[in-house]
Amino acid sequence: QVQLVESGGGLVQAGGSLRLSCAASGSIFSINAMGWYRQAPGKQRELVGFITNGGITNYADSVKGRFTSPRDNAKNTVYLQMNSLKPEDTAVYYCNKGTWPYYNWGQGTQVTVSS
């Protein structure tokens, strides 16, 4: 079972940027879609976006044009570049496969955007 460790979160002002990382303990080369998810307080976890091995991406409307999620299969790492952050982006961010069945969820990384 691949373990996922997210990092890079923090406190940032609205309009700022953050880059999250997701390091996998095993190879992600065979996983077509790797996704980023987030869960805000009192809300369900939602898909932020995913990237396939072929570079195809799909993002939630709420982040489209602001977030990108490059992946480095050689480093077994997926990134989430977040620009023009808004207070409503405040959440715990997780990475996982883009489709079920998912790996065990990591601890996530907290992103807090102040207004």
pLDDT by residue (tens digit) across 67-113? 999 999 999 999 999 999 999 999 999 999 999 999 999 999 999 99
Residue 71: closest CA among 34, 100, 98, 113 = 34
Q: What is the mean pLDDT of residues 15-30?
A: 92
Average pLDDT of the chain is 95
CB 17 within 8 A of CB 8: no
CA distance linking residue 108 with residue 37, whole number of Å: 9
pLDDT for the residue 31: 83
Q: Is the pLDDT of residue 27 over 90?
A: no
Rounded to the nearest 5 degrees, what angle is found at the Cα of 68, between the Cα atoms of 84 and 75?
A: 130
pLDDT for the residue 32: 87
Count, residues in the chain: 115
Q: Is the pLDDT of residue 29 over 80?
A: no
Residue type, 82: M
Q: Which residues pair with 21 in a beta bridge?
A: 7, 79
pLDDT for the residue 84: 98
